[in-house]
Amino acid sequence: MRIGGLCHGDTKTPEGRAVQFCTKTYAHEFQPGTTRIYLWASSDANIDKPPGSH
């Protein structure tokens, strides 16, 4: 499995400055010649849960 990622401030491009969450990218060779890509986005910001969630 290969792992990469990007967080706010990691790049100096205009697009990179718009990143608000850290994103990790995982590439897993599921079968020979078949790769699955997984994305995980997270934030250290204090974000309230949506109404009705516990």
Q: Does residue 22 lie within any of the structural domains?
A: yes
The parent domain of residue 34 ranges over: 2-42
9: left (phi over 0), alpha (psi -120 to 50) or beta: left
Q: Does residue 48 lie within any of the structural domains?
A: no
Mean pLDDT by 10 residues, the chain (54 residues): 76 71 86 90 65 62
pLDDT score for 3: 82
Cα 37 to chain centroid, rounded: 11
Q: Does residue 10 lie within any of the structural domains?
A: yes
Place of tokens 């401030």: 9
Q: Does residue 51 lie within any of the structural domains?
A: no
pLDDT score for 16: 67
Domain count for the chain, please give it. 1
Write a three-state SS string for the chain. CEEEEECCCCCCCHHHHCCCCEEEEEEEEEECCEEEEEEEEECCCCCCCCCCCC
